[in-house]
Amino acid sequence: MTTLISGSLLTIFNLSRTTPNKNFVGIGGRAGFNVRPTVQIEGEMVYDFGRNFTSTFSNGITTQFVTSHSHVLHGLFGPKLMTGSGAFRGFGTLKVGFVSFSTNRENVLNGFTGALGAVTSGDTRSAIYPGVGVEGFLGPFGLRLDLGDEIYFDDGARHNLKVMLGPTFRF
């Protein structure tokens, strides 16, 4: 029997390339299906809300501060290996996909559609996500916590801590 697992999630993505490191907070969704009792194939997409970055430019005579609004869109797909099929279980995952960065001055909805457009025309990088987590179920409802390193490739590997928490529903 194939079981569909679906859930929304809240994420914290620590972008290590900025100084100091910036935490992006976002929401997303995940869907998966069982291929074996302890193996699932999952796909997820997360949109991180805009963060303001202020950069200082100086030519020796004048100094200018520039603020930009950055958004991140993550899309990952891969297997999840679980410890069992009971009410509580641990798991490990290794997903591949992309991380897309976009910058604009628009509101959340326009920022989201701008991030989608940036996947084909913006600053999009391939990514891998090794992670571990735990999940617990009470009937068809559950709660899941993931912790991992979302690595994207831009002149070398860029390691970024990612934490995801959210409800899970079994169908």
Residue 118 is given by DSSP the state H
List of residues 6+ apart from 118 with CB closer than 8 A: 73, 100, 101, 102, 124
Q: Which of 55, 77, 74 is nearest to 66 (CA)?
A: 55
Rounded to two decimals, the pTM is: 0.74
Every domain of the chain and the residues it spans: 4-170
> For residues 14 and 155, what is the distance between their CA atoms, to the nearest angstrom?
19
Which CA distances in Å does 136 have to 52, 85, 90, 133? 36, 10, 9, 10
> For residues 129 and 96, what is the distance between their CA atoms, to the nearest angstrom?
6
pLDDT tens for each residue of the chain, 171 residues long: 445 565 667 777 766 555 445 677 778 888 888 888 889 999 998 887 665 545 555 566 665 554 556 677 889 999 999 997 778 999 999 999 998 877 655 544 444 444 444 444 457 889 999 999 999 989 888 899 999 999 988 878 888 888 888 888 887
List of residues 6+ apart from 161 with CB closer than 8 A: 12, 13, 14, 16, 147, 148, 149, 150
- Overall fold of domain 4-170: Porin (2.40.160)
